[in-house]
Amino acid sequence: MVASGFVLAGGKSRRMGRDKALLPYRGRPLVAHVAGTVEEALGAASPVAILGDPQNYRGLGYAIYADLFPDCGPLGGVVTALDRSATDWNLIVACDMPKVSPASLRALLDRAAQSTALSVAAQGPTGEPEPLCAVYHRRYLPVLSRALRDKRFRMRDLFAELPHELLAFPADSLANVNTPEEWMECEGQPG
Protein backbone atom coordinates (compact mmCIF):
# COMPACT_ATOMS: atom_id res chain seq x y z
CA MET A 1 0.00 0.00 0.00
CA VAL A 2 1.20 3.49 -0.81
CA ALA A 3 0.54 5.79 2.12
CA SER A 4 1.73 9.04 3.63
CA GLY A 5 2.66 9.50 7.25
CA PHE A 6 1.85 12.36 9.60
CA VAL A 7 2.84 13.06 13.19
CA LEU A 8 0.51 15.34 15.16
CA ALA A 9 2.52 17.87 17.16
CA GLY A 10 0.16 20.82 17.31
CA GLY A 11 -1.06 20.49 20.89
CA LYS A 12 -0.60 23.08 23.60
CA SER A 13 1.11 20.67 26.07
CA ARG A 14 -0.60 22.44 28.99
CA ARG A 15 -0.30 19.50 31.40
CA MET A 16 3.36 18.99 30.50
CA GLY A 17 4.21 22.67 31.01
CA ARG A 18 6.39 22.76 27.88
CA ASP A 19 6.25 21.49 24.31
CA LYS A 20 6.21 17.72 24.76
CA ALA A 21 7.07 17.19 21.09
CA LEU A 22 10.51 18.65 21.80
CA LEU A 23 11.28 16.55 24.88
CA PRO A 24 14.58 14.69 24.39
CA TYR A 25 14.05 11.00 23.70
CA ARG A 26 16.84 8.63 22.66
CA GLY A 27 19.06 11.45 21.52
CA ARG A 28 16.53 13.49 19.53
CA PRO A 29 13.25 15.34 20.04
CA LEU A 30 10.27 13.10 20.77
CA VAL A 31 8.48 14.23 17.60
CA ALA A 32 11.50 13.19 15.50
CA HIS A 33 11.58 9.81 17.22
CA VAL A 34 7.91 9.17 16.44
CA ALA A 35 8.35 10.48 12.87
CA GLY A 36 11.25 8.05 12.44
CA THR A 37 9.04 5.21 13.67
CA VAL A 38 6.34 6.19 11.16
CA GLU A 39 8.96 6.45 8.42
CA GLU A 40 10.28 2.98 9.25
CA ALA A 41 6.75 1.55 9.13
CA LEU A 42 6.01 3.14 5.76
CA GLY A 43 9.36 2.62 4.09
CA ALA A 44 11.79 5.26 2.87
CA ALA A 45 9.85 6.03 -0.33
CA SER A 46 6.77 7.31 1.51
CA PRO A 47 6.61 10.90 2.74
CA VAL A 48 6.36 11.70 6.45
CA ALA A 49 5.41 15.16 7.70
CA ILE A 50 4.95 16.84 11.05
CA LEU A 51 1.73 18.73 11.72
CA GLY A 52 2.39 21.70 13.98
CA ASP A 53 3.98 25.11 14.16
CA PRO A 54 6.74 25.28 11.52
CA GLN A 55 8.75 27.63 13.77
CA ASN A 56 9.02 24.93 16.45
CA TYR A 57 10.00 21.92 14.35
CA ARG A 58 12.19 23.15 11.51
CA GLY A 59 15.56 21.50 11.15
CA LEU A 60 14.28 18.01 11.98
CA GLY A 61 14.41 16.79 8.36
CA TYR A 62 10.64 16.49 7.82
CA ALA A 63 8.10 18.60 5.97
CA ILE A 64 6.05 20.62 8.45
CA TYR A 65 2.48 21.76 7.94
CA ALA A 66 0.73 24.26 10.17
CA ASP A 67 -2.82 23.34 11.15
CA LEU A 68 -5.31 24.73 8.67
CA PHE A 69 -7.72 24.98 11.60
CA PRO A 70 -5.77 26.06 14.69
CA ASP A 71 -7.25 25.57 18.16
CA CYS A 72 -9.52 22.75 17.00
CA GLY A 73 -7.57 20.00 18.73
CA PRO A 74 -6.35 16.86 16.99
CA LEU A 75 -9.28 16.99 14.55
CA GLY A 76 -7.75 20.09 12.96
CA GLY A 77 -4.49 18.19 12.50
CA VAL A 78 -6.17 15.13 10.98
CA VAL A 79 -8.12 17.34 8.55
CA THR A 80 -4.89 19.16 7.65
CA ALA A 81 -3.14 15.82 7.02
CA LEU A 82 -5.90 14.54 4.75
CA ASP A 83 -6.04 17.88 2.92
CA ARG A 84 -2.27 18.05 2.35
CA SER A 85 -1.78 14.38 1.52
CA ALA A 86 -0.87 13.19 -1.96
CA THR A 87 -2.00 9.62 -1.20
CA ASP A 88 -5.37 8.03 -0.47
CA TRP A 89 -4.19 6.28 2.71
CA ASN A 90 -2.58 8.16 5.58
CA LEU A 91 -0.95 6.92 8.75
CA ILE A 92 -1.51 9.48 11.51
CA VAL A 93 0.20 9.17 14.90
CA ALA A 94 0.33 11.55 17.86
CA CYS A 95 3.80 12.75 18.81
CA ASP A 96 3.37 11.68 22.43
CA MET A 97 3.41 7.89 21.86
CA PRO A 98 7.11 7.05 22.15
CA LYS A 99 6.60 3.29 22.55
CA VAL A 100 4.59 2.65 19.38
CA SER A 101 6.54 0.28 17.13
CA PRO A 102 7.10 0.17 13.37
CA ALA A 103 5.77 -3.42 13.33
CA SER A 104 2.48 -2.38 14.95
CA LEU A 105 2.10 0.54 12.53
CA ARG A 106 2.82 -1.77 9.58
CA ALA A 107 0.08 -4.08 10.87
CA LEU A 108 -2.35 -1.13 10.78
CA LEU A 109 -1.37 -0.41 7.19
CA ASP A 110 -1.73 -4.09 6.21
CA ARG A 111 -5.19 -4.26 7.77
CA ALA A 112 -6.25 -1.06 5.99
CA ALA A 113 -5.08 -2.50 2.66
CA GLN A 114 -7.39 -5.50 3.13
CA SER A 115 -10.31 -3.66 4.72
CA THR A 116 -13.47 -2.22 3.21
CA ALA A 117 -13.55 0.35 6.04
CA LEU A 118 -12.07 3.77 5.45
CA SER A 119 -10.08 3.73 8.67
CA VAL A 120 -8.24 1.29 10.88
CA ALA A 121 -7.25 2.38 14.37
CA ALA A 122 -5.17 0.90 17.12
CA GLN A 123 -7.16 -0.61 19.95
CA GLY A 124 -5.79 -0.19 23.43
CA PRO A 125 -6.13 -2.50 26.43
CA THR A 126 -9.49 -0.96 27.42
CA GLY A 127 -10.98 -1.88 24.03
CA GLU A 128 -11.34 1.77 23.03
CA PRO A 129 -10.12 2.96 19.63
CA GLU A 130 -7.09 5.24 19.52
CA PRO A 131 -7.98 7.63 16.67
CA LEU A 132 -4.57 9.31 16.97
CA CYS A 133 -2.82 6.11 15.97
CA ALA A 134 -4.75 5.17 12.88
CA VAL A 135 -4.81 4.89 9.11
CA TYR A 136 -7.34 7.16 7.39
CA HIS A 137 -8.52 7.22 3.79
CA ARG A 138 -8.83 10.67 2.21
CA ARG A 139 -12.53 9.99 1.61
CA TYR A 140 -13.02 10.85 5.31
CA LEU A 141 -12.03 14.46 4.62
CA PRO A 142 -15.56 15.81 3.85
CA VAL A 143 -17.03 14.14 6.95
CA LEU A 144 -14.29 15.44 9.23
CA SER A 145 -14.43 18.90 7.65
CA ARG A 146 -18.17 19.00 8.37
CA ALA A 147 -17.47 18.05 11.98
CA LEU A 148 -15.05 20.99 12.22
CA ARG A 149 -17.70 23.37 10.87
CA ASP A 150 -20.17 21.99 13.42
CA LYS A 151 -17.55 22.40 16.20
CA ARG A 152 -17.60 18.69 17.01
CA PHE A 153 -13.94 18.29 17.92
CA ARG A 154 -13.79 15.08 19.99
CA MET A 155 -12.01 12.53 17.79
CA ARG A 156 -13.24 9.50 19.75
CA ASP A 157 -16.87 10.57 19.35
CA LEU A 158 -16.44 11.17 15.63
CA PHE A 159 -14.52 7.98 15.13
CA ALA A 160 -17.32 5.95 16.69
CA GLU A 161 -19.70 7.32 14.03
CA LEU A 162 -17.46 6.42 11.08
CA PRO A 163 -17.00 3.01 9.47
CA HIS A 164 -13.76 1.65 10.89
CA GLU A 165 -11.91 -1.41 12.06
CA LEU A 166 -9.80 -1.87 15.16
CA LEU A 167 -6.52 -3.69 15.54
CA ALA A 168 -5.35 -4.71 19.02
CA PHE A 169 -2.00 -3.21 20.01
CA PRO A 170 0.34 -4.31 22.81
CA ALA A 171 -0.81 -2.74 26.08
CA ASP A 172 2.05 -0.30 26.65
CA SER A 173 2.63 0.74 23.02
CA LEU A 174 -0.13 3.36 23.07
CA ALA A 175 0.90 4.94 26.36
CA ASN A 176 1.16 8.64 25.82
CA VAL A 177 2.96 11.24 27.86
CA ASN A 178 0.99 14.28 28.93
CA THR A 179 2.46 15.18 32.32
CA PRO A 180 5.97 15.42 33.79
CA GLU A 181 5.16 12.34 35.91
CA GLU A 182 4.16 10.29 32.86
CA TRP A 183 7.31 11.47 31.11
CA MET A 184 9.52 10.40 34.03
CA GLU A 185 7.81 7.01 34.06
CA CYS A 186 8.30 6.62 30.31
CA GLU A 187 11.97 7.60 30.46
CA GLY A 188 12.60 5.08 33.21
CA GLN A 189 11.29 2.14 31.18
CA PRO A 190 13.03 0.45 28.30
CA GLY A 191 11.12 0.91 25.04
Q: In this predicted model, what pLDDT tens digit does every residue of 30-81 receive, in sequence order?
A: 999 999 999 999 997 789 999 999 999 999 999 999 999 988 989 999 999 9
The pLDDT value recorded for residue 190 is: 47
The pLDDT value recorded for residue 191 is: 47
Mean predicted lDDT score pLDDT of the chain: 89
| Weakly modelled stretches of the chain, pLDDT under 50 | 190-191
Classified by CATH at the fold level, domain 3-187 comes out as Spore Coat Polysaccharide Biosynthesis Protein SpsA; Chain A (3.90.550)
The pLDDT value recorded for residue 102 is: 97
The pLDDT value recorded for residue 23 is: 86
- pTM for the structure as a whole: 0.92
The pLDDT value recorded for residue 3 is: 95
Burial of 31 from C-beta contacts in 10 A (0-12 / 13-18 / 19+) = buried
